[in-house]
Amino acid sequence: MTDEKTTHFGFTEVPESEKVGRVAGVFHSVAAQYDLMNDLMSFGVHRVWKQITIETSGVRPGASVLDLAGGTGDLAAAFAKRVGEDGQVVLADINEAMLSVGRDKLADHGNYNQIRWVQADAENLPFEDKTFDCVTIAFGLRNVTRKERALESIYRVLKPGGRLLVLEFSKPTSSALEMVYDRYSFDLLPKIGKWVTGDEDSYRYLAESIRKHPDQDSLQAMMEAAGFNEVGYTNLTGGVVALHKGFRFDS
């Protein structure tokens, strides 16, 4: 008999030690069609959400940016243009398949010398203290096993005055929208996944993982507990997505 803690993998309870491997399996399965599915699932609106994140970042030429769970590189590419030749962007993801797809995509679309690719676990970031001016994590925090540990790790690598931006699916602000969103997520989304990728189960997990993710106020409290200052959030598309922001103000 083991005393190992359990966590959720979608609606299923699994030992904490198993979640990373299970999530890795999902993203290995969907990596090749990840960008296409993002466009289909969100009707292209994910591009607007990401642009709002970039505009909120305050990133300027010469800055250092860490894009966690950066996947296929949408945010990293935009940040590379903002930081310029004197800046640096680190795209970190725990999943090698996603990193590989991202490297290939960006190699086909331009010269991104400012971007460094790192396979890394958000809970144990392999960077020195106070390294980055900005850390972003878009649609990745909900897949992390120990979110509190990841937030503490992010806080550690932020420079004083640096900011964290968490873009994540959240809780719709109206019951009518929530009902429509649930029907779409559980009835239609897995079928789209099966049609495009041949993988219905992975997209059912993604829908379930959204429902298990902390709501807006709960995530704000988690960020505050990790040490972040001036924590707040902005609901996007009626709360289907929320953009959370927090700062590190210590010296």
pLDDT tens for residues 160-175?
999 999 999 999 999 9
Question: Quick one: how many helices (H) and strands (E) in the chain?
Answer: 10, 9
Q: In the block, which residue shows the tokens 């959720």?
A: 8
Domain-wise residue ranges, the chain: 6-173+204-247
* Under 8 Å between Cβ of 87 and 66: no
Residue 160's H or E segment, with its range, is strand 158-169
Predicted local distance difference test score (pLDDT) of residue 107 = 80
Phi and psi for 204 in degrees, rounded to 5? -70, -40
Of 134, 146, 138, 141, nearest in space to 64 by CA: 134
Domain 6-173+204-247 sits in CATH at: 3.40.50.150
Cβ-proximal residues to 104 (8 Å cutoff; 6+ apart), any chain: none
Exposure of 198 in the CB half-sphere (CA atoms within 13 A): 4
Distances (CA, A) of 87 to 50, 229, 246: 20, 25, 22
pTM as predicted: 0.89
Angle between helices 200-212 and 16-30 (to 10 degrees): 130
Cβ-proximal residues to 29 (8 Å cutoff; 6+ apart), any chain: 197, 199, 202
Helix (H, G, I), strand (E, B) or coil at 237: helix
Q: What is the pLDDT of residues 93-120, one digit of tens each?
A: 998 888 888 888 888 777 688 899 999 9
Predicted local distance difference test score (pLDDT) of residue 228 = 98
Q: Which residue positions in the chain have pLDDT lower than 70?
A: 1-3, 9, 14, 24-37, 111, 251
Predicted local distance difference test score (pLDDT) of residue 34 = 63
* Under 8 Å between Cβ of 30 and 202: yes
Predicted local distance difference test score (pLDDT) of residue 1 = 42
Predicted local distance difference test score (pLDDT) of residue 155 = 98
Predicted local distance difference test score (pLDDT) of residue 83 = 96
The structure tokens listed for 20 are 């990373």
Q: What b/e string do you get for 25-57 counting C-beta neighbours within 10 Å, with b at 16 or more?
A: ebbebbbebbbebbeebbeeebeebbebbbebb
